């Protein structure tokens, strides 16, 4: 988190060029076969038994309940805010607005820069200015939630509206090209792609559109705040506890250690459970009231105060030679954004790394609008970018009269097409072959509309899934071993339902040579050693490396403690390995002493060691990505246009799979979210008012059981020799490629190309 840590890490970066051996597999020592096993989630029973306490369920003495009023204009100022009626309503403790809210500094660094992915650099309830339709303008605290909800309806607020940019079309008149998209250059050009396209024997040049999506985790965004003097405890649903603690500390003029963030359970994150205004308002209101505050956003509140995926318009142009190889690959476009955040929706990232082409042009723009800041949402960029790119590949395959899988085989690059780096591991062609065999791809008719069951037309589609491998710099882990042979592994990381805590317990058990039930992974609390954010599908790699570093540090501590009477006397940490509940000399396996024996001789109850993760040098050296192939079969009703997905298979290539059960759930969950992207999800933005018109799950549709067929997933499971544990991230790749696989299947069924999501039945009539 600290600048110091970052500086230290960049200094180390230069000296490291490859992944040290000890970061990799634990398999030789994994005698219990723990890593990779389909272990059930350790938090699962607590959750289904109702014993997991979420942020909005913390009981506190004197707790007050908050309700939020949201702006109804997109830009301008609050002209009048009459709180009289609300304040005299039953049970009301206070009303907080910009006039009486505690004075707060601007959200620092990740906000005010504004840095990539930051939610907003705007002040939080400090003045009368309105920046988006839905901005929180007042918080009512009351003795019960119902009293707060009632009182908020009694607020009398009037606005003075100013001209707002709330039409995407109008915003595009002033579209700008940011210098960087995340940390990559916005534009990449290899050769003259436009000229190559013009001269190509076969070409397609198409536009695709994707709508806004809103975050809709099952658990509503909520926070409970309690102050003790100048110390704040925030019970949050968070995928970045350390960044939250640090940012709130800066805003309130406190030290980071004075803000304790606790987030043991998160009911779905997907990129949306970072830091928004509601946590800051909870803390501010608790300070103002001198009482604990619980703020749970309503479902509508989540649409107003938490951003989601932004809308895009994309162009994909492909020029091919007769053999299918690409003379030109062009992917450009524009995404809506705000000036007070920086999440440009990196939809051109897949085109940089997937296919060989003689010439390449990728670039993207942003169009600033007055709206809730958009943010990361599972596979941000990649999910909508693969929709355009992979639909275009399908259209090119048809123009070439080639099978779409055969086309991709011919486009397989030897090295990264834009960076020129070697791939650390890439078995995409194998994932295609294995998936095609399992799915029965040979049953697909190349001619659209050729298969029918009564009034249902059947089609099959395929698309590549891809997501980059990331590992965040920073983070540290501590391991405490006890004399009874147990390990407590600690890092302020996040379990949002992915299986992180279970997988890291498996990892630590395998690494330390302990049975799984002797290992506890502790997370979700800023009192623990600092973690990195759970984002970019990077957390498993980030934690794994920190645990490996901590194991190294622990080994050194254990050897020191073992001393001269140990069979290990005289050995250095590099000469021993953690194995079978103790240390063993690598060269002389008979020289062994158990942790219990070492601790017992020293009369110690426990021993612990902590270490920082080394910086992510592997990503500097290699082109690293998760891959997959999405196979979809649809039935489209010829009379009503209704699309039913009848079969789905994901065939993935994401390195070593660390837990077969939680990985299956991650892949399936991503695919299900992808079915929503393909067929339903659409946050309707009123271009007259800048207001989202369907802020409820009644009107904003996500897949339900009836929409989801049996989904099968499989994987190559080939470890990446350059990645910690041989594993790539799997949290986000599942959603990528799904939109295109569905659209391509719909085309194969009906002969209709739908280039605008979601593929609703009106577009097929
Ligand atoms: Mo993910 S969208 O980085 O939580």
Q: Which ligand 1 atom minimizes the distance to the CA of 535?
A: 3
Residue 16 has what pLDDT? Answer: 40
- Own/partner pairs for 419-424, CB < 8 Å, 24+ apart? 419/352, 419/353, 419/623, 421/621, 421/622, 421/623, 422/622, 422/623, 423/622, 423/623, 423/624, 423/625, 424/469, 424/618, 424/622, 424/623, 424/624, 424/720, 424/721, 424/722, 424/723
In a domain, 57, yes or no: no
- Which is nearest to 528 in space by CA: 269, 265, 261? 261
Q: Does the beta carbon of 674 lie inside 6 Å of ligand 1?
A: no
Are 625 and 353 contacting, i.e. CB atoms less than 8 angstroms apart?
yes
Rounded Cα gap, residues 166 and 691, in angstroms: 9
Select from 585, 614, 643 the last residue of a domain: 614
536 lines ligand 1 (CB under 6 A): yes
Reply yes or no on whether 250 is catalytic: no
494 touches ligand 1 (CB under 6 Å): no
Between the CA of 585 and the centroid of ligand 1 the distance, in Å, is: 42
Say if 177 falls within a structural domain: no
In this structure, the residue with its CA closest to atom 4 of ligand 1 is 271
* DSSP codes joined into one string, 654-704: -BS-SBHHHHHHHHHHHHHHHHHHHHT----EETTTTEES--STTTS----
Please give the number of the atom of ligand 1 that sits closest to the Cα of 731.
1
505 alpha carbon – ligand 1 mean position (Å): 22
Question: Is 641 among the domain residues?
Answer: yes
Burial (0-12, 13-18, 19+ Cβ within 10 Å), 84: exposed
Is the distance from the beta carbon of residue 271 to the nearest atom of ligand 1 less than 6 Å? yes
> From ligand 1's centre to the CA of 553, what distance in Å?
31
Backbone angles phi, psi at 311, to 5 degrees: -85, 150
Query: What is the distance in A from the centroid of ligand 1 to the CA of 117?
Result: 10
- CA of 271 relative to ligand 1 center, distance in Å: 4
* Nearest atom in ligand 1 to 538's CA: 3
Ligand 1 pocket test, pick from 182, 376, 626 with the greatest ligand atom count within 8 Å of Cβ, gives 376
Closest ligand 1 atom number to CA of residue 117: 3
CA of 270 to the centre of ligand 1 (A): 5
Do residues 367 and 392 share a domain? yes
Quick one: CA dihedral 600, 603, 606, 610, positive or negative? negative
Alpha helices in 443-538 (DSSP H): 500-512
CB atoms within 10 A of CB 600: 11
Instruction: Tell me if 209 is assigned to some domain.
Output: no
Cα 413-419-424 angle, rounded to 5 deg: 65
CA of 377 to the centre of ligand 1 (A): 6
Of 117, 271, 538, the one to substitute when testing ligand 1's pocket (max ligand atoms within 8 A of C-beta) is 271
133 and 277 together in one domain: yes
Same domain assignment for residues 259 and 341: no
Q: Which atom of ligand 1 is nearest to the CA of 380?
A: 2
Kindly give the distance from the C-alpha atom of residue 535 to the centroid of ligand 1, in angstroms, as a whole number. Answer: 4
Assess whether the C-beta atom of 270 lies below 6 angstroms from ligand 1.
Answer: yes
Q: What is the reported pLDDT for 6?
A: 45
Distance CA 418, CA 190 (A): 7
For ligand 1, whether the C-beta of 272 sits within 6 Å is no
Q: Which of ligand 1's atoms lies nearest the C-alpha of 496? A: 4
Residues 605 and 636 reside in one and the same domain:
no
Q: Is the CB of 380 under 6 A from ligand 1?
A: yes
Counted domains in the chain:
3
Ligand 1 centroid – CA 74 distance (Å): 27
What is the Å distance from ligand 1's center to 199 Cα?
40
Same domain? For 328 and 363 the reply is yes
The answer to whether the beta carbons of residues 680 and 703 sit under 8 Å apart is: yes
Distance CA 289, CA 276 (A): 21
The reply to whether ligand 1 has any atom less than 6 angstroms from the CB of 308 is no
- Which ligand 1 atom minimizes the distance to the CA of 377? 2
> Domain range spanning residue 515?
2-52+473-614
Ligand 1 site, residue 377, Cβ cutoff 6 A: yes
84 and 223 inside one domain: yes
Mutate to test the pocket of ligand 1, among 270, 346, 468 (most ligand atoms within 8 A of CB): 270
pLDDT number for residue 32: 75
Q: Is 570 left (phi over 0), alpha (psi -120 to 50) or beta?
A: left
Please pick, among 390, 633, 732, 756, the residue that the annotation labels catalytic.
Answer: 732
Which ligand 1 atom is nearest residue 271's CA?
A: 4
d(CA 162, CA 604): 69
What spacing in Å lies between the alpha carbon of 378 and ligand 1's midpoint?
5
- Provide block-wise average pLDDT over 10 residues at a time, the chain (765 residues): 42 46 62 87 94 96 98 98 98 98 84 63 96 98 98 98 98 95 94 98 98 97 98 97 94 97 97 96 98 98 97 98 98 96 94 98 98 96 98 98 98 98 98 98 97 97 98 96 96 96 96 95 98 96 96 96 96 93 95 97 98 94 98 98 98 97 98 98 98 98 96 97 95 98 98 98 96
Note the pLDDT of residue 109. Answer: 54
Q: 535 CB under 6 A from ligand 1?
A: yes
Q: State which of 570, 586, 614 marks the end of a domain.
A: 614
Domain of 416, CATH number, reads 3.30.365.10
* Residue 272 near residue 301, CB atoms below 8 Å: no
Instruction: Write down the pLDDT at residue 438.
Output: 98
Asked if 315 and 284 sit in the same domain, the reply is no
pLDDT score, position 116 = 64
Q: Tell me the CA end-to-end span of the chain in Å, nearest whole number.
A: 53
Residue closest to 303 by CA, chosen among 214, 369, 220, 221? 214
Write down the pTM of the prediction. 0.96
Q: Please indicate, yes or no, whether residues 291 and 326 belong to a single structural domain of this protein.
A: no
CA distance 703 to 738: 13
Would you say 119 and 307 are in contact if contact means Cβ atoms under 8 Å apart?
Answer: yes
Shared domain for 577 and 455, answered yes or no, is: no
| CATH number, position 138 | 3.90.1170.50
At residue 121, the pLDDT reads: 86
Kindly state whether residue 170 falls inside one of the protein's structural domains: no
Task: Give the residue among 643, 639, 744, 650 at the shortest CA–CA distance from 703.
Answer: 643
What does DSSP say about strands 685-686 and 691-692: parallel, antiparallel, or unpaired? antiparallel
81-121 pLDDT, tens digit each? 999 999 999 999 999 999 999 999 998 755 445 666 678 88
Q: Domain end: 614, 630, 652, which one?
A: 614
Pairing of strands 606-612, 476-482: antiparallel
Rounded Cα gap, residues 532 and 243, in angstroms = 8
| Residue 56, φ and ψ in degrees, nearest 5 | -90, 10
| 321 CB neighbour count, 10 Å cutoff | 14
Phi and psi, residue 175, nearest 5°: -60, 145
Residues in the chain, overall count:
765
Residues 315 and 301 in one domain: no
The reply to whether 169 falls in a domain is no
Task: Identify which of 116, 240, 535 to mutate to test ligand 1's pocket (most ligand atoms within 8 A of the CB).
Answer: 535
Question: Which whole-number Å values give the CA distances from 341 to 107, 111, 372, 658, in the listed order?
Answer: 11, 7, 9, 35
CA 549/CA 616 separation, integer angstroms: 13
**How far apart, in whole angstroms, are the C-alpha atoms of residue 103 and residue 682?**
37
Examine the domain organization and report whether 140 and 253 are in the same domain.
yes
Beta bridge partners of 319: 203, 328
Mutate to test the pocket of ligand 1, among 268, 731, 735 (most ligand atoms within 8 A of CB): 731
- On whether residue 17 sits in a domain, the answer given is yes
Q: Which atom of ligand 1 is nearest to the CA of 272?
A: 4
**Choice from 345, 378, 472 to test ligand 1 binding pocket (greatest atom count within 8 A of CB):** 378
Ligand 1 touching residue 378 (CB < 6 A): yes
Gap from CA of 733 to ligand 1 centroid (Å) = 11
**Predicted pLDDT at 30:** 73
Query: Which helix (DSSP H) or strand (DSSP E) does residue 86 occupy?
Result: helix 84-87
**Which CB contacts under 8 angstroms, 24+ apart, belong to 596-605?**
596/483, 596/484, 596/485, 598/558, 598/561, 598/562, 598/566, 599/481, 599/482, 599/483, 599/561, 600/483, 601/562, 601/563, 601/565, 601/566, 602/561, 602/563, 604/483, 604/561, 605/482, 605/483
Query: What integer pLDDT is reported at residue 2 of this predicted model?
Result: 43
Burial of 23 (0-12, 13-18, 19+ CB in 10 A): buried
Looking at the CA of residue 379, tell me the nearest atom of ligand 1. Answer: 2
Do 702 and 224 form a contact (C-beta atoms < 8 A)? no
Same domain, yes or no: 384 and 503: no
What residues have CB less than 8 Å from 758, skipping those under 6 apart?
A: 211, 676, 677, 678, 679, 680, 681, 682
Q: Is the CB of 347 under 6 A from ligand 1?
A: no
Task: Please tell me if the CB atom of residue 376 comes closer than 6 angstroms to any atom of ligand 1.
Answer: yes
Radius of gyration of the chain (CA): 27
**204, part of any domain:** no
The alpha carbon of 327 and the centre of ligand 1 are apart by a number of angstroms equal to 34
SS3 state of residue 342: coil
Q: Give residue 20's pLDDT.
A: 65
């Amino acid at each position: 988190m600290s600048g110091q840590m970052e500086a230290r890490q960049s200094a180390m970066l230069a000296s490291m060029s490859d992944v040290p051996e000890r970061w990799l597999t634990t398999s030789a020592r994994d005698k219990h076969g723990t890593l990779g096993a389909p272990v059930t989630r350790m938090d699962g029973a607590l959750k289904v038994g109702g014993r997991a306490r979420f942020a909005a369920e913390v009981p506190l003495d004197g707790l007050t309940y908050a309700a939020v009023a949201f702006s109804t204009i997109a830009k301008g100022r609050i002209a009048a805010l009459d709180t009289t009626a609300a304040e005299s309503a039953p049970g009301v403790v206070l009303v907080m607005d910009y006039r009486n809210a505690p004075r707060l500094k601007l959200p620092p660094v990740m906000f005010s820069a504004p840095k990539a992915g930051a939610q907003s650099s705007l002040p939080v309830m400090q003045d009368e200015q309105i920046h988006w339709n839905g901005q929180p303008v007042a918080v009512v605290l009351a003795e019960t939630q119902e009293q707060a909800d009632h009182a908020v309806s009694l607020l009398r607020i009037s606005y003075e509206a100013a001209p707002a940019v709330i039409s995407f079309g109008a915003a595009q008149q002033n579209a700008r090209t940011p210098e960087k998209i995340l940390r990559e250059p916005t534009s990449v050009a290899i050769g003259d792609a436009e000229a190559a396209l013009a001269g190509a024997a076969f070409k397609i040049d198409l536009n695709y559109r994707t709508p806004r999506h809103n975050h809709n985790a099952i658990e509503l965004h909520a926070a409970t705040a309690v102050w003790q003097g100048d110390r704040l405890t925030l019970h949050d649903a968070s995928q970045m506890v350390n960044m939250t603690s640090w940012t709130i500390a800066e805003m309130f003029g406190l030290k980071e250690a004075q803000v304790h963030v606790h987030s043991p359970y998160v009911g779905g994150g997907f990129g949306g459970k970072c830091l928004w205004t509601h946590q800051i308002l909870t803390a501010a209101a608790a300070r103002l009231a001198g009482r604990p505050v619980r703020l749970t956003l309503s479902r509508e509140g989540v649409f107003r105060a938490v951003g989601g995926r932004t809308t895009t318009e994309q162009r994909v142009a492909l020029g091919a030679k007769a053999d299918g190889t690409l003379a030109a690959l062009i992917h450009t476009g524009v995404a809506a954004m705000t000036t007070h955040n920086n999440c440009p929706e990196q939809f051109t990232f897949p085109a940089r790394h997937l296919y060989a082409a003689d010439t390449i042009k990728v670039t993207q723009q942003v169009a600033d609008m007055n709206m809730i800041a958009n943010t990361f949402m599972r596979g941000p960029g990649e999910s909508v970018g693969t929709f355009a790119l992979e639909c275009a590949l399908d259209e090119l395959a048809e123009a070439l009269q080639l099978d779409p899988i055969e086309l991709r085989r011919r486009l397989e690059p030897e090295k990264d097409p834009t960076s020129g780096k070697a791939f650390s591991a890439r078995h995409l062609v194998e994932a295609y072959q294995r998936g095609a065999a399992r799915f029965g791809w040979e049953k697909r008719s190349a001619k659209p509309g050729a298969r029918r069951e009564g009034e249902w037309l059947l089609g099959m589609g395929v698309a590549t899934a891809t997501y980059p491998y990331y590992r965040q710099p920073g983070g540290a882990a501590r391991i405490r071993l006890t004399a009874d042979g147990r390990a407590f592994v600690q890092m302020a990381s996040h379990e949002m339902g992915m299986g992180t805590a279970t997988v890291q317990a498996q990892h630590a058990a395998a690494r330390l040579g302990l049975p799984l039930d002797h290992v506890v992974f502790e997370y979700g609390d800023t009192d623990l050693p600092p973690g990195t954010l759970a984002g970019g599908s990077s957390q498993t790699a980030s934690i794994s490396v920190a645990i490996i570093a901590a194991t190294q540090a622990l080994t050194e501590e254990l050897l020191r403690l073992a001393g001269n009477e140990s069979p290990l006397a005289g050995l250095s940490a590099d000469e021993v390995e953690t194995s079978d509940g103790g240390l063993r000399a690598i060269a002389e396996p008979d020289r062994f002493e158990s942790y219990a024996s070492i601790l017992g001789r020293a009369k110690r109850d426990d021993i612990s060691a902590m270490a920082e993760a080394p910086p992510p040098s592997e990503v500097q050296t290699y082109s690293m990505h998760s891959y997959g192939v999405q196979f979809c079969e649809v039935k489209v009703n010829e009379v009503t246009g209704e699309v039913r997905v009848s079969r789905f298979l994901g065939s993935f290539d994401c390195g070593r799979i660390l837990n077969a059960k939680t990985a299956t759930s991650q892949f399936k969950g991503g695919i299900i979210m992808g079915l929503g992207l393909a067929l339903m999800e659409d946050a309707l933005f009123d271009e007259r008012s800048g207001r989202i018109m369907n802020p409820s799950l009644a009107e904003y549709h996500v897949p339900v059981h009836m929409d989801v067929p049996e989904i099968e997933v499989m994987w190559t499971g080939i470890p990446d020799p350059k990645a910690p544990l041989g594993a790539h991230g799997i949290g986000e790749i599942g959603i990528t490629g799904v939109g295109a696989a569905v659209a391509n299947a719909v085309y194969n069924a009906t002969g209709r190309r739908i280039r605008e999501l979601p593929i609703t039945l009106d577009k097929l009539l």
